[in-house]
Amino acid sequence: MNHPHLFASPSSTYASRRDFLRRAGSGCGLVALAAMLEQQGLLERDALAGDVRLNPMAPRPAHFLAKAKSVIWLFMNGGPSQVDTWDYKPELEKRDGQDLTGFDKNTGFFTEQVGPLMKSPFKFARQGQSGAWVSEIFPKMGEHVDRMAFLHSCYTQTNNHSPALFEINTGMSRMGFPCMGAWVTYGLGTENQNLPGFITMYDTLGRGLPKGHAQNWGAGFLPGVFQGTALNAQGAPINNLFRREGLSDAEQLAQLELLRKLNKHHPEAGEADLAARIESFELAYRMQMAAPEALDIDREPKAIRELYGIDNPKCAHFAKQVLTARRLVERGVRFVQIYSGGMENERSWDGHANIEQNHRQFAGETDIPIGALLNDLHERGLLESTLVVWNGEFGRLPIVQKGGTGRDHNPHAFTTWLAGGGVKGGVHYGATDEIGHKAVTDRVSINDLHATILHLLGIDHEKLTYRSNGRNFRLTDVAGHVVKEVVA
Amino acid sequence: MIARRVMSGLLLAWGPLAAIVPASEPTPAAIEQFEKQVRPLLAARCWKCHGDQKQQASLRLDSAAAVAAGGDSGPAVVPGDPEHSPMIQAIRYAEDPKMPPDGKLSDGEIALLTAWVKTGASWPRYSDDVQPADQVPATLPDPPPPGERDPLWALRPVADPDPPATQTTPPPKNMIDRFVQARLEQLGLAPAPAADKRTLVRRAYFDLLGLPPSLDEVAQFVNDVGEDAFARLVEKLLASPHYGERWGRHWLDVARYADSGGYETDMYFRNAWRYRDYVVKSFNDDKPYDRFVQEQIAADEIWPDDLSLDGTYVMPKSKIEHLEARIGTGLYALGTQIHESNMDGKKLDYERLTDWADTTGSVFLGLTVGCARCHDHKFDPIPQADYYRVVSTFTTTVRSEVELDFHPERYRAAQAAFDRDHAPLVDALAKFESQELPSRFAAFLAAPPKPMAPKWLIVDAANTKSDGGATFTPQSDGSYLVGGKNATNEVYTIVVQTKRQGITAVRLEALADDSLPKRGPGRAPNGNFALSNLQLWVAAAGAQGPGAPVKLTQPLATFSQESLPVASAIDDNKKSAWAVDPQVGQNQAASFEIETPVSNPQGTTLTFTLKFENNAGHNLGRFRLSLSTAAKPVGLEGDEAAERRIDEVNQALATPAAERTEAQRATLLDWYRRQDETWQKLNGAVQEHAKQTPKPELTKVMIASEGLPAIRFHTQGADFFDKTYYLRRGDLNQKVGEASSGFLQVLVRVPDGEQHWRSTPPAGSRLSLRRTGLAHWITDVDGGAGHLLARVIVNRLWQHHLGRGLVATPSDFGASGQRPSHPELLDYLAGQLIEGGWRLKDVHKLIMTSAVYMQSVGTDAPRAAADPDNILLWHRSRQRLEAEVIRDAMLAVSGQLDERMYGPGSLDETQRRRSIYFTVKRSQLVPSMMLFDAPDSLGGLGQRAATIVAPQALAMLNSALVQSSARALAHACLSAPGCTTEAAIQRAYQTGLARTADAEELADSVAFFTRAAETYKAAGKTDATEAALADFCQVLLGMNEFIYID
């Protein structure tokens, strides 16, 4: 059967309002009307310009030239401890067991379980040319420190999971604001129209979703198109992705053919919305094939699968997601976010009870796959255009949480590393105090972090705005400085 | 001063940081550094002791004046000279006092403050440093000359415009048309012709009901040739209960309706759906809009009816309405709720208050009040002070759950009937006890019986202990009610002293109690318990320690849960247990024989340990222990009447009659009568009837009110704070005076000012009546905000009918929103609403019977090019159905819709009720709704997006809903009598699109069907015809025309 229209690339025939106005000027005597309406303040100042509204996912140019085209955000859910991972503190070892004078017991979550300073249970060693200190729990990631830029002085405003998750994802500790992935796809669209532009993956071992659930990848007041598509842990990875059993490809194509014909009879089929909707069916049809292909990691050669650790029962679940992320960015998906760990306590990096056991476990689940990802992206030449981000929603205290050997939440300091996508490798920016309790030098707020990531994507964070409820909103609200020191 | 600043701000649109102090003006860079670094540092490390709460050493460091004034030992700072500034010396920790005492500042922080002092310790001053309390009311400036934009148009009174005369055809159907057509005429434009009847009927059904018309309903309208057929149709639809479901949903959008609080725990608001039902019902009842608004703000205050019925069993209708109105305050209660437990309580409370102030502003007045939390509103004449005064109105209001009896008359009547029937039974028993019982008792005592030995003897504990922090309260029946902490795992230790010899068995009763979850007997949320181990230790009385464990055998129970048998309580497996689900809420018991009967001449100490380690929190809630000395097999059953007081009875019997005390005689009488058959019968009748004691029909409702217990979440500390403070830049650390409750000054147009609406609560009232004032001000058309209120709601109606509001920003009527496209028409409609007693149905009818509404979708390219947004209303704008309506329409055309209204919602996407009955769980929004742009319910939404994305098309291709609807539609079309392929396809067209297919469409459809049917037949499908038609119906449901309504 011949269905040329189904496989044509997305047409660009939709008329935006601006096009309408432009054409109005050429053809008829009503041009004055448009001008008059505009002058009277009646033409809607569309939050979404016409072309974005009608083809919201079409790729759009950035504000300026930049290397990063896509983002893989590795989110260590629950809050990894900076002093046990990337922020080596010999002084903490010396002061092990001493009380931390002046400590505000409301810093962490358990105000009645404030113990003395506790040294890291892990050994640290220098890695790479840059000689970065790396915890023994990250042997594979440690091989890539010369590709990483470390922001040691990140901090958040709140000390508990969901507000901190909201803050690091949306810039606001309250619910209801668009997350970074939504802002980025709103700003840049996405390269592959047959796949969602923004995909999130959460724990597949049944340990739960990050606190606040889908709000973490929500679009807030941005149109719903821009929210993250969370791949389902069970069943079809994307809702309604598979044809019903018994319906063949040919039959579905016949349906689409009929749909196209019948839609034509509807008056004014040329109207932009209706044309866009006809197009959306053809996209959906293609997505049925493109998405399963993109998500099918069985197509990867054995060597690659082994590299990521898919045969290693300890990290297989995360390895599959990381490898999927690589396949997605390779196919033009703009933004991918993966959560390591589920809800809280022992189900995530939230090591309240026993930091050694907790972090050994979650490092064990993630180190090999992330090391492999950086290798693999590099070898494919994708690291240049892919920004990899690693962090959690906050850090952990240098003191022990009484009653165990764990650490409580610490909003004052945590480490983020960036790699690829125009990042300067082997750089350390900002510092915590000598025991890693608070970020003191060159502090990096979440707004700063967001501004920096947007900058690496070629977006001026002050210009990426959306009008809602009478106000222009930004991901960075009214703040944010780009940390230029980590930009190559 | 505030007012002056507001006015100039309006003209110049300058930002919040403009300073008014000309001398020693800090540079912008210095201001920025001060605000970003110095002030936050002072706030974080100094103000706790040197701020508005405490002034150690009489020193405050929270304003320029205070710093200059210094404290007990003089000025803290010498501007320009850090070396001689005591504050700098203190923070360097060089000598005492060392400040701050709880830890030295970092070097960077010390350097920052040193530099600040060195450069003059300048402290920017703002106009809003002024205490807002002494401001003069803001007044509106005069409107600009005609032809110029008036950013404050919405705040001016509604004009009473004369509808302009028009010349063109079609002639105007009502006043609306004259306003619209006059505008078009000025530009030489003609409106689009009227739509045909099939288009109109479909438009009207979707518009008013959110459902498609049935075949019959289409035919009925098409065949109605009467002049006013459409007006009658509109009236019929407005009377349909589905109208409330459709328009109630529009309201729920702006009300940010949800069934849970969001955030970390996203706890359910179990009764929020009653607010949804209240809204639906209010629309259906055509409740006057001003009343609807008042109810939501302050029904609990304005109509504080109690349930007293003044001696009548008839519940006045008004009283029921007042109780129902209280549900309206749910508007506030169902806002988001943060549970984070040790966050700053005040901060949480300000989040709540901000939500409530925002909601009030945007829902009712179309004003974005919330912006003024941090600064004077940049574009609207809303000073920060107004924001905090609105907030203050709600400060002491809490989210509460109350039980309302909407039918106390039924309870009263039932109670009276019960009393009537109960009294004779009680009388009969009393008569027997006074007249016959004494002689029978005397006869009984004359031939005294032998002492009794009941099978089971209830025993009291000498000592009780809980490992998990539970408490044991002895009850009069010898049982123990467990309270206190319900630990994950528990061990109860019960010590009993007895002089009984030859103890052969023990019994553990697990008793129901009203205070337990599901009446118990366990403490788990489902009323269950799980006894993982019961052990008995025996020692001679007076011996040290619990002694030795004895072996228990022959476990028996009244009931054992499947796979959790009573034998598990005495096996060696610590994790197996005895439990009783689903027979919770009733008494249960278990008995165990002791392998070697226990005797000790001097008495015995029995130590029971009850372990609950099988399931978290599955501990026993009420229990009673008994011993038996009966011969084995002992068995479980017993005679409760005799058990409790048997020792007392035996003692009394052993006492010579003359020496018996009054208490002993009473004991014997009670013991005797329980054996008397007549007494048993009479008493049984009383007890049996008492079980039917009526209870009020209480309905749990979530409301917002004052002086009631707040719904507690995982928060700590106070539920609210008594006072609201003005905060600089919305920062809790920067209080500048207390805010009193008030309204938006710019909309106060009466000589006596705000007093006009204030009421004083009666002495001792739990209510402050602050919200009453707000409710009266906001609906007052003479001197308050009533005109704006009316404009905002008629604009919302217009928007949903025509696709675009006369003001295109429905929740922003402020200066940053859109101007009205037809200001006179907006005022005309607002005036009509107010004059008509705020009845929304009249406005619906007015709009829908205009020629403007009845136009067809235009095809005129030049006009479409010039005015693509149809601002001038030159034709009908095609509208995409909302998520709920798309789903409801599919269920309706396929005959699957379950039309039951009201009641609790569900998250089950396969349910068949209308989509308004989906539960809105904020962290778990229904995917099929979100796909088509349903709101996220975090803040109010005045206008939904209508996106077009591939996942929507995926749903139309593959979702279960579309497939089942297509199948059901196909089945129905084939079931019609005399059905040919053509007829079935036409019936599908008519059902789905309210029209027949034209020749070309029919030909295409038939060709598709024929090919599909052949394919299915060739594949051996027995239902090939229906399957093929279902494939066609699915295409029909996917057509643009199905969800884009002309």
Tokens matching residue A366 = 């993630």
CB B801 within 8 Å of CB B853 = yes
- The pLDDT tens digits for B366-401 are 987 766 666 665 556 677 778 888 888 999 999 999
CB B351 within 8 Å of CB B329 = no
Q: Sketch the domain layout of chain A as residue ranges.
A: 62-240+296-486
DSSP string computed for B710-747 = PPP-S--S-SS-S-EEEEGGG-TT-EEEEEPP---GGG
User: Which chain A residue's Cα is nearest to B811?
Assistant: A469
- C-alpha distance from A42 to closest chain B C-alpha (Å): 6
Distance (Å, whole) CA B285 – CA B841: 10
Task: Spell out which residues of chain A touch residue B336, defining contact as CB-CB under 8 Å.
Answer: 174-176
**What is chain B's Cα-based Rg?**
39
Amino acid identity at B637:
E
- Those residues whose C-beta lies under 8 Å from the C-beta of residue B142, and which sit 6 or more positions away, are none
Q: Is the CB of B336 less than 8 angstroms away from the CB of A175?
A: yes
Strands (DSSP E) found in A370-461: 386-391, 395-396, 399-401, 409-410, 414-420, 427-429, 431-432, 439-441
What is the ipTM metric for this complex? 0.75
Tokens matching residue A457 = 């994507």
User: A98 or B666: whose pLDDT is higher?
Assistant: A98
- The pLDDT tens digits for B266-302 are 889 999 999 999 999 999 999 999 999 999 999 999 9
CB A387 within 8 Å of CB A457 = yes
What are the percentages of helix, strand and coil residues in chain B, rounded to 5? 45, 10, 45
- The pLDDT tens digits for B312-343 are 455 677 878 888 999 999 999 999 887 655 55
φ, ψ (nearest 5 deg) of residue B893: -70, -20
Give the residue ranges of chain A where pLDDT is below 50. Answer: 1-31, 43-47, 269-270
User: Which residue stretches of B720-821 are H helix?
Assistant: 770-778, 786-802
Residue in B340, B349, B367, B956 to test binding to A, most A beta-carbons within 10 Å:
B340
Q: Helices H, strands E: what count in chain B?
A: 36, 18
CB-nearest partner of B869 from A43, A215, A259: A43
Distance (Å, whole) CA A225 – CA A112: 45
Q: How far is CA A178 from CA A224, B350, B811, B1021, in A?
A: 10, 22, 20, 49
Interface of A with B in 264-323 (CB under 8 A): 265-269, 271, 273-274, 276-278, 280-281, 283-285, 287-288
- The pLDDT tens digits for B618-646 are 999 999 999 998 888 888 887 665 566 67
Residue in B342, B353, B1031 to test binding to A, most A beta-carbons within 10 Å:
B342
Distance (Å, whole) CA A436 – CA B187: 71
User: Which chain B residue's Cα is nearest to A247?
Assistant: B1031
Taking alpha carbons only, the member of B507, B491, B614, B479 closest to residue B546 is B491
* 3-state secondary structure (DSSP) of residue B643: helix
- Sheet arrangement for strand B463-466: B463-466, B490-498, B604-612, B533-540, B548-549
Q: Is the CB of A240 less than 8 angstroms away from the CB of B955?
A: yes
Distance (Å, whole) CA B644 – CA B876: 84
Residue A89 pLDDT: 97
Task: Spell out which residues of chain B touch residue A159, defining contact as CB-CB under 8 Å.
Answer: 342-343
Taking alpha carbons only, the member of B851, B843, B833 closest to residue B247 is B843
φ, ψ (nearest 5 deg) of residue B308: -70, 140
* 3-state secondary structure (DSSP) of residue A461: coil
User: Which chain A residue's Cα is nearest to B107?
Assistant: A440
Residue A389 pLDDT: 98
- The pLDDT tens digits for B66-99 are 777 777 777 888 888 888 888 888 888 877 888 8
Taking alpha carbons only, the member of A404, A303, A298, A300 closest to residue A357 is A404
Task: Spell out which residues of chain B touch residue A218, defining contact as CB-CB under 8 Å.
Answer: 936
Interface of A with B in 184-223 (CB under 8 A): 193, 196, 211-215, 218, 220-221, 223
Task: Spell out which residues of chain A touch residue B103, defining contact as CB-CB under 8 Å.
Answer: 101-103
- C-alpha distance from A147 to closest chain B C-alpha (Å): 30
Task: Spell out which residues of chain B touch residue A440, defining contact as CB-CB under 8 Å.
Answer: 106, 108
Residue B11 pLDDT: 27
- C-alpha distance from B821 to closest chain A C-alpha (Å): 6
Q: Is the CB of A223 less than 8 angstroms away from the CB of B1031?
A: no
Taking alpha carbons only, the member of A130, A124, A143, A150 closest to residue A371 is A143
* Predicted model pTM: 0.74
Distance (Å, whole) CA B848 – CA B636: 76
Q: Is A235 touching B (CB cutoff 8 A)? A: no
Q: Is the CB of A23 less than 8 angstroms away from the CB of B865?
A: yes
- C-alpha distance from B819 to closest chain A C-alpha (Å): 6
- The pLDDT tens digits for B231-269 are 999 999 999 999 999 999 999 999 999 999 887 678 899
Distance (Å, whole) CA A129 – CA A106: 40
User: pLDDT band at residue B23, thresholds of 50, 70 and 90?
Assistant: very low
- Those residues whose C-beta lies under 8 Å from the C-beta of residue B517, and which sit 6 or more positions away, are B523, B524, B525, B526, B527, B621
Task: Spell out which residues of chain B touch residue A348, defining contact as CB-CB under 8 Å.
Answer: none
Map B397-455 to HEC letters: EEEEEEEEECCHHHHHHHHHHHHHHHHHHHHHHHHHHHHCHHHHHHHHHHCCCCCCCCC
Taking alpha carbons only, the member of B195, B241, B201 closest to residue B218 is B201
Tokens matching residue B632 = 């084995």
First to last CA, chain B: 54
* 3-state secondary structure (DSSP) of residue B374: coil
CB A140 within 8 Å of CB A131 = no
Task: Spell out which residues of chain A touch residue B369, defining contact as CB-CB under 8 Å.
Answer: none
- C-alpha distance from B238 to closest chain A C-alpha (Å): 29
Q: Is the CB of A259 less than 8 angstroms away from the CB of B1032?
A: no
Chain Cα centroid distance, residue A288: 24
Asked which of B94-98, B809-813, B882-886 is least confident by mean pLDDT, the reply is: B94-98
Q: What is the mean pLDDT of residues B450-467?
A: 83
Length of chain A: 488
Burial of B186 (0-12, 13-18, 19+ CB in 10 A): exposed
As assigned by CATH, the class of the A62-240+296-486 domain is alpha beta
Q: Is A437 touching B (CB cutoff 8 A)? A: no
- C-alpha distance from A469 to closest chain B C-alpha (Å): 7
Q: Is the CB of A263 less than 8 angstroms away from the CB of B1041?
A: yes
Residue B313 pLDDT: 52
Taking alpha carbons only, the member of B875, B858, B865, B888 closest to residue B802 is B875
Q: How far is CA B797 from CA A240, B251, B258, B817, in A?
A: 35, 10, 22, 18
Count the Cβ atoms, other than its own, within 10 Å of residue A250.
12
Residue B626 host element (H or E): strand B622-628
Residue entry with tokens 């002492």? B451
* 3-state secondary structure (DSSP) of residue B851: coil
Q: What angle do CA B305, B709, B287 make, to 5 degrees?
A: 40
- The pLDDT tens digits for B892-931 are 999 999 999 999 999 999 999 999 999 999 888 898 998 8
Q: Where do the domains of chain B lie, and which CATH numbers do they carry?
A: 19-125 (no CATH), 249-405+700-802 (no CATH), 426-454+639-695 (no CATH), 457-629 (2.60.120), 951-1045 (no CATH)
Distance (Å, whole) CA B970 – CA B972: 5
User: pLDDT band at residue B130, thresholds of 50, 70 and 90?
Assistant: very low
Length of chain B: 1046
Taking alpha carbons only, the member of A215, A162, A156 closest to residue A449 is A156
Residue B372 pLDDT: 66
Taking alpha carbons only, the member of A46, A209, A97 closest to residue B809 is A46
Distance (Å, whole) CA B434 – CA B682: 13
Query: Which range among B77-81, B467-471, B946-950 has the greatest average pLDDT?
Result: B467-471
**Residue B401 forms beta bridges with which residues?**
B702
Q: Is the CB of B954 less than 8 angstroms away from the CB of A241?
A: yes
Q: What is the mean pLDDT of residues B466-485?
A: 90
- Those residues whose C-beta lies under 8 Å from the C-beta of residue B986, and which sit 6 or more positions away, are B996, B997, B1002
| Farthest CA pair distance, chain B | 119
Taking alpha carbons only, the member of B27, B380, B238 closest to residue B849 is B238
- C-alpha distance from A242 to closest chain B C-alpha (Å): 7
Q: Is the CB of B866 less than 8 angstroms away from the CB of A44?
A: no
Q: Is A105 touching B (CB cutoff 8 A)? A: no
* 3-state secondary structure (DSSP) of residue B476: coil
Residue A36 pLDDT: 61
**Residue A127 forms beta bridges with which residues?**
A132
Q: Is the CB of A224 less than 8 angstroms away from the CB of B1011?
A: no
Burial of B92 (0-12, 13-18, 19+ CB in 10 A): middle
First to last CA, chain A: 52
- C-alpha distance from A37 to closest chain B C-alpha (Å): 8
The dihedral formed by the CA atoms of B832, B834, B838 and B840, expressed in degrees to the nearest 10:
30
- C-alpha distance from A432 to closest chain B C-alpha (Å): 11
Average pLDDT, chain B: 86
